[in-house]
Structure 1
Amino acid sequence: MNQVQRKDVPAEHQWKLEDLFPNQQAWDKEFQEVKESLQKVRGFQGKLSDPQALKQCFELEDDISLHTERLYVYANMKHHEDTADPTYMALSDKAKKLSVEVGEALSFISPEILSLSDEQLQQFVNHPDLQFYKRSLEELIRQKQHVLSQQEEALLAQVGNLSQAPGTIFGMLNNADMKFPKIKNDDGEEVELTHGRYIQFLESRNREVRKNAFEAMYATYGKQKNTIAATLAANVTKNVFYAKVRKYPSVLEMSLFGDNIKKEVYTNLIDTIHDSLPLMHRYMELRKKLLKLDELHMYDLFVPLVEEFDMKITYDEAKKTVLDSLKPLGDDYLKVLQEGFNGRWIDIYENEGKRSGAYSWGAYGTHPYVLLNHKDNLNSMFTLTHEMGHALHSYYSDTNQPYRYAQYTIFLAEVASTLNEALLMDYMLKKSTDPKEKMYLLTYYMDQFRTTVFRQTMFAEFEKIIHEKAEAGDSLTPQELSKIYYDLNVQYYGKDMVVDKDIEMEWARIPHFYNSFYVYKYATGFSAATSFAKQILTEGQPAVDRYLGFLKSGGSDYSINILKKAGVDMSTPEPIKQAMSVFKSLLDQMEQLAK
C-alpha cells in the first residue's frame, strides 16, 4: 500500500501552521529582523555593570530569543511534514544556523554579569528597575560559586569537545559497528538480530525465539565488554573531573544542581522503591503463573500476558474517549482541549516522508502543536492523550507566564503527559466489563510501572554506585560493572525470577548511561503524575485547582517548589509511596482476575 503524498492530505487532518506564520514572506521578514537585532546586542558588551543597560540588554535578549524560537519551530515543523522536501530542508538548515549565530551573539551576557562582584549582584537583585529579572539574577548568583575565572572557563570550553568522546565512541560502536548474529524468527526463517528487532523477538510467543535473541544479544556485547567498560569508565572519569573542577561535592550533586534538586530526591526514590520491591516480586510471581512457566527467565519479561486483545479505536473515538476520561480536570481544561481538537493544533496521520513518532512543540505567543502518526489502536489513543497533556501544559504556562519564565523543565515535562495517561487508564478500567479487555489494560499499565519506575530506578541506582566507586578511587573493570548490575537484577526481580547470567552485560547497551543521572526523572515524573491522579480522583476540585496551578507555573520557580505548591512534595517519599499504592491496587485486581 502506497503512502499518501503530503499534498493529498485533507486540510482538517493537518496542523495549521499559518497560525505561526501566514506565509513564507512573513518568515523571511522576521528572519531579517532578528539578523538586524543581533547588531544591537554587540553594543551592550562591556556595559552590563549599569542597571539600565542590563535591563535593556535583557529585554533585547528576550525579544531575539522569542523570534528565533518562532523561526526555528516553524521551519522544523514544515520540514517534518515531509522530510524529503528540499525547500523546507533548506529552511530548517537556515533556522539552525541562525540559532547558533544567536547563541554566540548572546553568549557574553551571563559571563559578564557573573564577573561582577557579589555586592554589585546583590544590588541588582534589589534594584527597582530590575525586579522583573530578579529570578534570573538570583539563578546566576546561585551558579556563580561553580563558575571559574575567564581563563579557566576558556580552557574548559576547549575540553568540551574531548568530553563528548565517550558518548560518541559508544554511539559509533553501538549503532554502526556492532554486528549481531542471525536467529530464527517465529516462522523458522533466519533473520539478523538488530536493536529494532530485539524487543519484537522478546515479545514472541515462541520461547525458543525469545531465549535465542536474548543470548545472542548479550553474547555479542560480551565480546566487546572490555572496550565498552573502558568507554563507560571514561565517561564516569569525565564526570568526576568536572565535579572536582567546578567544586561540587559529588557528580550526583553536580547533575542535580541545574534543576536545584536536593540529593534526597534521588535517594528517596531508590529507598522507597527498595521498600516496594516485594510488590515487584509478587508481579513476577503472577507473570510466571499467567505464562504457565516452571521458571521465569529474564527473556520472559516482555511477552504479552494475555492474547493480543485487538482494540480498534478510530481517531474520532480516541478523541471522544480522551475527552471523557479527562472530565475530572474540569470544564476549563476540557474547553482548551476541545479548542486543540477543533482548531487544527494536530497533524494526525502518516504521509510519505513525514517524521516518525509523536511530539508536542510550538513557540510562545501561538498555541502549541502536536505531531502524531495515528494508527487505530490503543497505543495511539494513549499517545494522543500524552501529547495533548504536554500541549496543554505549554498552553497554560504560555498564557500565564511572561516569555522568560514560561518554559518548564524536563523534570516537570513528563508529569502533565503521564497524568493524562493515568486518568485515561482509570476511566477505561472502570468502564471495562470484558475480563480479557481488563486484563489487557492492567498488563499495559503494570508494564509501564515496571519499565518506567522500577527499571529506571534500577538504572539510577547503578549510576549512583559506579560514580561513588570512581569517586572513592576504585577502578570500573568489566567484571566489576557486570557484578554490580547482576546483583541489582537479583534484588529487583526477586526469587521467582531466574536471573540469567547473560543479563550482567545489559549495562553495556544502555545509551542513557552516557547522559548521566538523567533516567531518574522518568521515575520521579511518573510517580508525581500518579500521585496527582490519585489526589484528583479522591479529592476532586481542591486537587484540580492545585494541579491547574502547577500547569500555569511554567518555569516561574524551581521545579520542586512548583510541584510542592501543587501538593506533590518530591523531597519526601510520599508521592512515590502513593504511586506504589496505585501499583498495588492494579496488582490486586490482576491477581483477582487470574484466579
Structure 2
Amino acid sequence: MKEESIKLPLREEIPEKLTWDLTLIFKNDGECEKELKNIDTQIAEVATYKGLLSKSDSAFLEALKTILKFERRMERLFVYANLKNDQDTSNKYYQGLIARARQLYAKVGASVSWFEPELLELPADRLEEYLVQNTELAKYRHLIEKITSQRKHILSMKEEELLAGATDIFSTAENFFGVLNNSDLKFPEVRDAQNNLIQLSHGNYGKLLENPQRSVRQAAFEGMYHVYQQFQSTFALSLSSHVHTHNFLAQKRHYTDARSASLAKNEIPVSVYDTLVERVHHHLSLLHRYVALRKKILKIDQVHMYDLYTPITKVPSKIYSYEESQKIAVKALNILGDDYTAKVKEAFKSRWIDVVENKGKRSGAYSSGMYDTAPYILLNWQNNLESLFTLVHEMGHSMHSYASNTNQDYHYSDYSIFVAEIASTTNENLLTQYLLDNTSDPQLKAYILNHYLDGFKGTVFRQTQFAEFEQWIHEQDAGQKALTAKEMNEYYMSLNEHYYGSDIFNDPEIAFEWERIPHFYYDFYVYQYATGFAAASALAQKIITQGPKDYLAFLRAGSSDFPIEIIKKAGVDMTKEAYLDSAFDLFEKRLSELEALVLN
C-alpha cells in the first residue's frame, strides 16, 4: 500500500479565527474592484494642478493634499490586493488583482511625478514665504524639506514622469522572483523524526532545521538546495537584472552608487553601513566561539551548516501553541504599559493576524498595513519557541504602525525603513529577558540563552553577511563584471567561510543560499536588521531600567523627523559605534552564561 504524506491544507480549510479579517479594508472583492476603477478614472484630477505651484500658497496646498489623497487611496487598495495574493499565491484571481494594482500604482506615480520637479523650481525664498504665511501648509514642512534636500537628484519633469511610469517594469525581477520562489518551486518530500513523509516547504524548513535528529536536518537542507541548484541560472538572471536596475536608477539620479541612493532616502550616512560591517568583522571571534561551543555540546567532528539551528540544549517538552503564546506575549510586553498591551489584545481578538500555513501561502512572516487599515500580521505558525518570537517580533512592527498612525497625520505616519526593525527587535529582547527572569530551571534557561544567541547570530552576523553580499553584487554590476550564478556562488561561499570560521564545514549547498533570500530584492534593506537589533538591545535595557516613556514617544513619532534624530531622542545615537559594541557585550555575556551552564 502506498504511504501517504502529510499535505498542507487548502486555504478554504483553515478555521476562520486563524485567518485575518480583510473585510476591515474592503467588504468584498467587488468593493475593491470598484475602488480600483474609481482611482483609475479620477486620477486625471491631479494633472489640473500642474503648473500652479508658483501661483499661490493655497494652490500649492491644494495640489499637495490632492496628491496625498490619491496616494492614500492607492495604498489602501494595494495593501488589500497584496494581502489577498499572499494568503494564496496560487489563486489566479488574486494574481491578476495584484498585477492590476501594481500597474495602477505605476500610473498614479506617473500622474504625480511632475510635483517634485515643479516644487524644486520654486525659489527657496518663495517656498519659505508659503510656509510662513500658510499655517496649514506649514504642517507639511518636514515632508517638503525631505524633498528639497534631494534637489540635485530630482530630474526634469518629463524624465521623472518617464521613470515613474516604468515603476512596474522596474519591479519585474522582484515580481518574477516572488512567483517562482513562492508558487512554482516544487520541493521534495522528506522524512521527519518519526519517519513520516512530509512535504518540504518554506514554512516548515526552519522547523526541520531545528530538529534534534541530524538526519532530518540534513535531508531538509539537501532537499531544499537540490531544488535551488537546478534553478541557479534563472535566479542569477533575476537578481542580476534587479541589481542592474538599482545601479541604472542611481546613475541617472546622479548618486555615487546604488547604496548611497538607497541610504539617502532616509538621510542615513553611508558610514553607518560601513561601521556596522567593520564592528561585525571586529567581533567575528564571538561567532567563531559560538560555533565551537556547538561543536562541543553536539559532540560532532564537524559543524555543518544544517547544525547551526538545532538547539544545543535540551528542548523544552512544552509546545508553544498559538493560544498559549498569546498569553506569554502579553505578559512579556506588559512592561510597555496597559495601553500597549490593550492594543496587542485587540490584534488577537479582531483577527489582524493570519496564523497558520496553507498551500500556496507566502512563506515567512511580516507586518503590513497602512493609515486606513489594521496593521496586519502574516505568520506560518509552527508551535515552537521560534513562532512565539516571530509573533512578538511582528507585533512590534504592528504596534509601531498603530502608534504612528494614531498619533501622526497621514503624511508623517509611515515611519522610515531605517527604524522599522527597532520596535520588532526591542520586543524580542524584552521577551528574552522575561523568559530568563521567569524560570529557575537551568535547562530551560540554557535553551532560552541559546535561542537568544541564535537570534543574534541570525540578525546581526547573518544579516551583515547578507549586506556585504548585496554590496558586492551591486559593485560587480557597476564595474561591468560578470554576475552569473558561478560568480555569485563562489563569492557567497567564500563570505560564508570568513564569517563562520574554521570550526564550520561549508557544505557545498550553502553556495546556493543567496537564491532564496527575498530581501536581496528590497534595495539595501538587510543591514537595517543588524543596526536595528543593536539599537533595540540598548533600548530594551533602557526600558527595563528607566521605563518606556522615551521609547513610546519614539513609536508615536512616525516620520515627523529624520530617523537618525528620532531614535537619538529615544536614547540611541546610531552615528556612533557604541551601540554596536554594547550589543556585542550583551552577546558575549549571554554566551558566557550559556558556557557556564552547559560545560560545567
Q: TM-score range by the shorter chain?
A: 0.7 to 0.9
Q: Output aligned runs, 1:467-482, within 5 Å.
A: 467-468=474-475, 471=478, 475-476=482-483, 481-482=488-489
Residue-by-residue CA offset, 1:369-422 (whole Å, 9 max, x unaligned): 556666655344334333332232122212221111111122222221221121
One-letter amino acid of the counterpart of residue 267, structure 2: N
Match for residue 456 of structure 2 among 449, 460, 473 = 449
Moved more, 581-590 or 369-378: 369-378
User: What is the aligned partner in structure 2 of residue 135 from structure 1?
Assistant: 142
Q: Residue 577 of structure 2: which of 573, 577, 587 is its match?
A: 573
Unpaired runs of at least 5, structure 1: none
Alignment of structure 1 residues 292-441 onto 2, 5 Å: 292-315=299-322, 317-338=324-345, 340=347, 344=350, 346-347=352-353, 359-364=366-371, 368-370=375-377, 377-441=384-448
Indicate if the aligned counterparts of 2:182 and 2:360 stay in contact, CA closer than 8 A. Answer: no
What CA distance in whole angstroms lies between the structure 1 residues aligned with 2:91 and 2:505? 51
Amino acid at match of 1:55: L
- Label 1:95 to 1:57 Cα distance change in 2 as closer, same or farther (>3 A): same
What do residues 451-501 of structure 1 show as CA deviations (whole Å, max 9, x unaligned)? 111111011112334444555565557665445333322321123223345
CA contact (8 A) 2:89 2:360 kept: yes
**Cα separation, 2, equivalents of 1:233 and 1:17:** 35
Q: CA deviation at 1:428?
A: 0.9
Matching residue of 1:545:
549
In structure 2, do the counterparts of structure 1 residues 2 and 170 end up closer, same or farther at CA, with 3 Å as the change threshold? closer
Match of 1:41 in 2: 46
Q: Deviation digits for residues 337-394 of structure 1, max 9, x if unmatched?
A: 455556x354576598996665544443666455666665534433433333223212
State the alpha-carbon separation in 1 of the partners of residues 373 and 160 from structure 2. 38
The answer to whether the Cα contact below 8 Å between 1:311 and 1:378 also exists between their aligned partners in 2 is no
Following the alignment from structure 1 to structure 2, what is the Cα–Cα distance between the partners of residues 229 and 80?
A: 24
Distance 1:149 1:429, change over 3 A: same
- Matched with 1:106 is 112
After superposition, the C-alpha distances for 1:2-57 in whole angstroms (9 at most, x for unaligned) are 9799799688x787777767899998998898678646434212222222211112
Q: Does 1:587 align with 2:598?
A: no
Deviation, structure 1 residue 176 = 8.2
Alignment-mate amino acid for residue 418 of structure 1? T
Seen in structure 2, the aligned counterparts of structure 1 residues 105 and 428 have a Cα distance that, compared at 3 Å, is same
TM-score (norm 1): 0.81
Match of 2:68 in 1: 62
Structure 1 residue 267: Cα displacement: 0.7
SS at match of 2:283: helix
Instruction: For 1:412, give the aligned amino acid.
Output: V
The 3 A distance-change label for structure 1 pair 118 and 502 is same
- Which stretch of structure 1 is more off in the superposition, 76-85 or 393-402? 76-85
Instruction: Check the 8 A contact 2:116/2:154 in 1, yes or no.
Output: no
> Partners in 2 of 1:24 and 1:191 — Cα distance?
34
- 1:549: Cα distance to partner? 1.1
Any conservation in 2 of the 1:170–1:231 contact (CA below 8 Å)? yes
CA distance in 2, matches of 1:24, 1:212: 41
Matched-pair contact (CA < 8 Å) for 2:403–2:556: yes
Deviates more, 1:83-92 or 1:381-390: 83-92
Please give the alpha-carbon distance, in whole angstroms, between the structure 1 residues aligned to 2:157 and 2:466: 37
1:153-191 CA-to-partner distances (Å, cap 9, x unmatched) read 466567767755665676787678888888887677999
Asked if the contact 2:107–2:165 (Cα under 8 Å) also holds between the matched residues in 1, the reply is no
Specify the alignment match of 1:563 in structure 2.
Answer: 567
Alignment-derived partner of residue 3 in structure 2:
none
**TM-fit CA distance, 1:581:** 2.1
- What amino acid maps onto 2:51 in structure 1? G
Assess if the C-alpha contact under 8 Å between 2:449 and 2:594 holds in 1. yes
For residue 426 of structure 1, report the CA deviation from its aligned partner. 0.9
Alpha-carbon distance between aligned partners in 1 of 2:9 and 2:487, rounded to the nearest angstrom: 50
Q: In 1, distance between residues paired with 2:167 and 2:36?
A: 30
Note if 1:259 corresponds to 2:266: yes
Q: Contact 2:429–2:537 (CA<8 Å) still a contact in 1?
A: yes
Structure 1 position 554, deviation (Å): 0.7
Q: Is the 1:243–1:254 Cα contact (8 Å) retained in structure 2?
A: yes
Let me know the Cα RMSD of the aligned residues: 4.5
Consecutive unaligned residues in structure 2, runs of 5 or more: 1-6
Matched letter for residue 296 of structure 1: V
2:4 is matched with none
Give the fraction of aligned pairs with identical amino acids, expressed as a percent.
40
Is the 1:180–1:216 contact (alpha carbons within 8 Å) kept by the matching residues of 2? yes
Greater mean alpha carbon deviation, residues 562-571 or residues 355-364: 355-364
